[in-house]
Amino acid sequence: MAPRIGVVVFPGSNCEHDVVRGVEAAGAEGVLLWHGDTQLGAVDAVVLPGGFAHGDYLRPGALARFSPVMEAVADFARAGGPVIGICNGFQVLTEAGLLPGALQKNGRLRFLCEPVRLVVVSTASVLTSTSMVGDELVIPINHFSGNYTCDAETLLRLQSEDRIVLRYADNPNGSIDAIAGIANEAGNVVGLMPHPERATSALLGSEDGLVLLRSLVAATATKVN
């Protein structure tokens, strides 16, 4: 049976259907989960999709972290379940304290919507296990607040613990150390600003996102639950 990947819908999410299609292209079944639910049901992985959860009021992700579903997501993550936050989902994960650091407004205050070149830095995460270190992937970004920042001590830890998952080849938004995606200590929680679900077909310009989504699907087989 295909693994079930839950995609959380917050009021204002807008990439959930793309993510469902993306994970289905990678061999899983995608199911939508509502932010107001307190349980995840029978899912093998969770994705927090892009968009504007709760209108991005206050700060992107600041209010979404109080959505009832987030406690279940945190429990699932602590139990080793794979959790991915894409774009706004990454912002939610940092606000919820499931990943360190924060995402600030882009340097030079530009909204960026374009394909970018990414370099795989670590394969010790549920999102990159089937790729190779040094692989270059072309995947679109679409954000105003994607400028990753953290204190010097956190950056050193991310570097020394192999938790920088993806870097930009040409840093578009001013992120510290050109970080495009990071993982938690165990590698089962990953946040990234680029949208792998928008790069799943050559017809759409790139299918480089598939290697990431296939890694996620592969991770559901080894998850401890």
Partner 1 sequence: MKFRARVEVQLRAGIADPEGATIERALPALGFDGVAHVRAGRSFSFEVEAPDEGSARTTATELADRLLANPVIEQSRLELEPI
Phi, psi of 45 (to 5 degrees): -160, 160
| DSSP string covering 157-180 | HHHHTT-EEEEESS-SS--GGGEE
Q: Which of 16, 35, 87, 150 is catalytic?
A: 87
Spatial separation of the C-alpha atoms in residues 101 and 147, rounded to whole Å: 10
87 catalytic? Reply is: yes
Q: Using only C-alpha atoms, what is the Rg of the chain?
A: 15
Show the binding pattern over residues 133-172: x = contacts partner 1 (CB under 8 A), - = does not: ----------------xxx---------------------
Q: Answer yes or no whether residue 131 interacts with partner 1 by CB under 8 A.
A: no
Report if residue 108 touches partner 1, rule: CB under 8 A: yes
Choosing from 11, 27, 80, 174, the residue that interacts with partner 1 (CB under 8 A) is 174
Q: Which is nearer to partner 1, 68 or 205 (CB)?
A: 68
Nearest by Cα to 222 from 132, 89, 125, 99: 125
Q: Catalytic site residue 143? A: no
22 binds partner 1 (CB under 8 A): no
Q: What is the DSSP letter of 123?
A: S
Which residues make up the interface to partner 1 (CB under 8 A)? 58-59, 62, 94-95, 100-102, 104-109, 149-151, 174
